Amino acid sequence: MRKKRQLRFPTAFTVLFFVLLLVWGLTFVIKPGSYAYVSCNGDAPKPIPSSYQTAKSDLSFRDRLYDLLLAPVNGLYGIRTPSDAVSTPPPDVAKAANQACGTVDGQQVPAQVMTAAGATGPYNVGDLAGAAGVFFFVLAIGAFITVTLKTGALEAGIAMVTDRFRTRGLLLIAILMVVFSIGGTTYGMAEETLGFYAVLVPLIVGLGYDRLAGVAMIMVGAGVGTLASTVNPFATGVASDGAAIPLGDGIGLRLLMYVVLTVVAIAYVLRYARRVKKDPAHSLVAGTEASAAAGTDSTAVADGRPAFSLRQKIVLAIFGLTFVLMVFAVIPWSDFNKSLEGITLGWYFPELAALFLVGAVVVGFVGGLGEQGTVASIIAGAGDFIGAALIIAIARGVTTIMNNASITDTVLSSLESVVTGLSSGGFATVMYLVNIPLAFLVPSSSGHATLAM
């Protein structure tokens, strides 16, 4: 009898390539156009509301095909031609630009009308539009995690924590979710959580839950914190600046949202984790290798617990301090208080990639791997994470196709027309719905906040 073929969902790469083709096809249908932009006191240009104008595309089919083929490359290290200053803007645009910048102490903030940024390409001169920083950050995280695993320190440390929390696993999940939610609400912790999956998911599995519970602990925890964004300067701070209101406005509501959302998220994840431990059949990934440890007796983990040497303790200390430094370095302390400017490092993905690469080397030598063992582990770790890094670059390539065809502003203008003239209640509801597709178009939280305002 012929065996029935099982329907399988395509890989993320296949889905993204179909999205690339779909967006590329839409560039032939959607009319190109752009907003006029304004730079307030030399800051990054932002679109001027109601200034959108359609334009005639000068892209040939060959140009469009070239953009499609180079989309993954542009998504990695494409350079976008910067905006140009407009010397004599139309009076209505100049007036709108001044209104967008506002006043400080009764004085008009200098407003410079700008054109939209140009095309993205590997040979252009301008600003990096590709995701090279995130790409190398992911590879460095992979190298750092793998080197630490090779020393045996993580295995020994996880076994120790599993032993201590074998009857209090739910408490550990709740505590870690609060920690991640704090990172999300203070500085928008997202990609920075990547390194924690390889460490904490095996720990949660060792306590008798499944890997989905471990993933939810990290992703949902950081996600609800970012959703509330009480003082997140990259989202709430940028949006407040764009709306010309203090960051403290509405913080009471945001704090209430943060508390309610965090409590609900923790309760939901704990409910799932409790059911999985009681009966592994309730696991949403039941029957897969990922859920093999669900429902196991976590006391058994301690029986074969590896020895925890002094060298491994030092490695774990370096491991933990590296993540602490990462969190400290990305928080813009001066945005909270000008007196903290001296401790603000202002690091981003390039610096974080260097941090974890240096950390991998230090951990390798301290952990006794030697030169060859350390280098081999770094290469192996980067190789393990190359798939995730490539997905990020390809996804960014979708944005470059839209930008090069000048349809991004057209889509944004359509969304702007939807919310214009609505009541406050209707505006809030529709803006929530509008921000969903906007999040796909603009991956940067600060860029998203600027456009939304």
Which residues contact residue 49 at a Cβ distance below 8 angstroms, ignoring those fewer than 6 apart? 96, 100, 416
CA distance 356 to 362: 10
In Å, what is the CA distance from 350 to each residue of 73, 136, 240, 333? Answer: 18, 7, 27, 19
- pLDDT, tens digit, 9 for 90 and up, residues 225-241: 988 888 776 677 666 65
pLDDT of residue 305: 54
27 plus 41 within the same structural domain: yes
Q: Is residue 434 part of a domain?
A: no
* 399 domain residue, yes or no: no
Give residue for tokens 């990934």.
Answer: 285
137, 122: one domain: no
Cβ-proximal residues to 135 (8 Å cutoff; 6+ apart), any chain? 76, 389, 390, 392, 393
Q: Minimal CA–CA distance to 314: which of 448, 153, 451?
A: 153
Residue 398 lies in a domain: no
Whether residue 145 sits in one domain with residue 125: no
- Phi and psi torsions of 212, nearest 5°: -65, -35
158 shares a domain with 85: no
For 45-64, give one letter per residue: b (16+ CB within 10 A) or e: bbbbeebbeeeebebeeeeb
CA dihedral 76, 74, 388, 286 (to 10 degrees): 160
What pLDDT, on the 0 to 100 scale, is given for residue 247? 60
Tell me phi and psi for residue 108, to 5 degrees. Answer: -65, 130
Q: Is residue 44 part of a domain?
A: yes
Residues of the chain with pLDDT under 70: 1-7, 9, 187, 192, 233-234, 237-248, 287-307, 336, 438, 440-453
**Pair 144, 280 in one domain:** yes
Tell how strand 120-121 and strand 79-80 pair up: antiparallel
Total number of domains constituting the chain? 2
- Do 62 and 148 lie in a common domain? no
Tell whether 379 is covered by a domain.
Answer: no
Domain that holds residue 213: 132-369
Do 163 and 298 have their domain in common?
yes
Check if the beta carbon of residue 255 is closer than 8 Å to that of residue 229: no
Asked if residue 406 lies in contact with residue 32, where contact means CB atoms within 8 angstroms, the answer is yes
Residue 295: inside a domain, yes or no? yes
Same domain, yes or no: 327 and 288: yes
Residues 211 and 74 in one domain: no
The answer to the question of residue 453 being in a domain is no
Whether residues 342 and 195 fall in one domain: yes
Cα separation, 36 vs 96, whole angstroms: 10
Residues 27 and 173 both lie in one domain: no
Per-residue pLDDT tens over the stretch 248-286: 677 778 889 999 999 999 999 999 999 999 888 888 887
Predicted confidence at residue 300, as pLDDT, reads 42
Do the domain assignments include residue 173? yes
